[in-house]
Amino acid sequence: TAAREVTVKDGRLCQEPIVKVREVFTASNKDRLCDKAVTGVITIKAAELESLELKLRSDGKNYTSLNLIDNEWVFDRSKSGEVITGVEKDEDSLGGIRRMPHSGNKESTLTILMDDFSVEIFEGGRAMSSTIYPPDGADSIELSVKAKSWSYTRSDIVKA
């Protein structure tokens, strides 16, 4: 995992990634956004976020998705390529699903760190991560956002 700044706010443990980045692509307030990347950092800032649908490492058939559904982030790696099995036996884990509450903040900042085989997601001090094993060539990013306003930034991680 990436280095993290860990704090306690209102009795809750909060985490934010610590990475040095170089911005390479930006866009805002489009109906739908398409981009390409395998590694790096994606930052999505939204005012009054209502819904978000994001597909990472997509080749059309395979992809990893993140959706805001009923004020909850749903990270789905069930179509990410190679199936991942572990010791967890709950329905979500068996289905390749991770969940995290949305902060509910009026201004949301979603930060996603990707490398070849992992995805880390940060929002509102919360974090979740997982490994993924997409096939070669799965490099498309598709984003759809419903919010008062929003922006998307993709950055490369700069080595120290």
111-157: per-residue pLDDT in tens?
999 999 999 999 999 999 999 999 999 999 999 999 999 999 999 99
pLDDT in tens, 143-155: 999 999 999 999 9
Helices assigned H by DSSP within 38-100: 91-94
pLDDT in tens, 9-21: 999 999 999 999 9
Q: What is the DSSP letter of 137?
A: T
**What is the pTM for the complete model shown?**
0.93
Residue 139: what pLDDT? 96
Residue 160: what pLDDT? 67
Q: What distance in Å separates the CA atoms of residue 98 and residue 156, rounded to the nearest whole number?
A: 25
